[in-house]
Amino acid sequence: MCGKTVSEHVCPRCGRTYTERPAMARDNSGPICPDCGTREALESIGVNAAEQDKILDTIHRCQRGVCYEH
């Protein structure tokens, strides 16, 4: 793993354990998981929860290498 240490974090918002780079909460309360950071950003521009779920699903599929729905 090229000498890099992977550390686990627990998101204070959703409770999920994650190893990715954290996002910074918009209220400056500290780091949150990437998904909660994405949700905060989408919510700030008026995207509803159902659409947020679809967007996050697309992001996760692309991270797994499956960017297009067939």
Q: Which of the pair, 14 or 68, is modelled with greater confidence?
A: 14
1-49 pLDDT, tens digit per residue, is 566 778 999 999 999 999 999 999 999 999 999 999 999 999 999 999 9
Residue 33 lies in a domain: yes
15 in the Ramachandran plot: left (φ > 0), alpha (ψ -120 to 50) or beta?
left
**End-to-end alpha carbon distance in the chain:** 33
Residue 38 lies in a domain: yes
Residue 36 lies in a domain: yes
The pLDDT of residue 5: 79
pTM, rounded to two decimals: 0.82
Q: What number is the average pLDDT over the span 41-65?
A: 95
Residue 2 lies in a domain: no
Residue 19 lies in a domain: yes
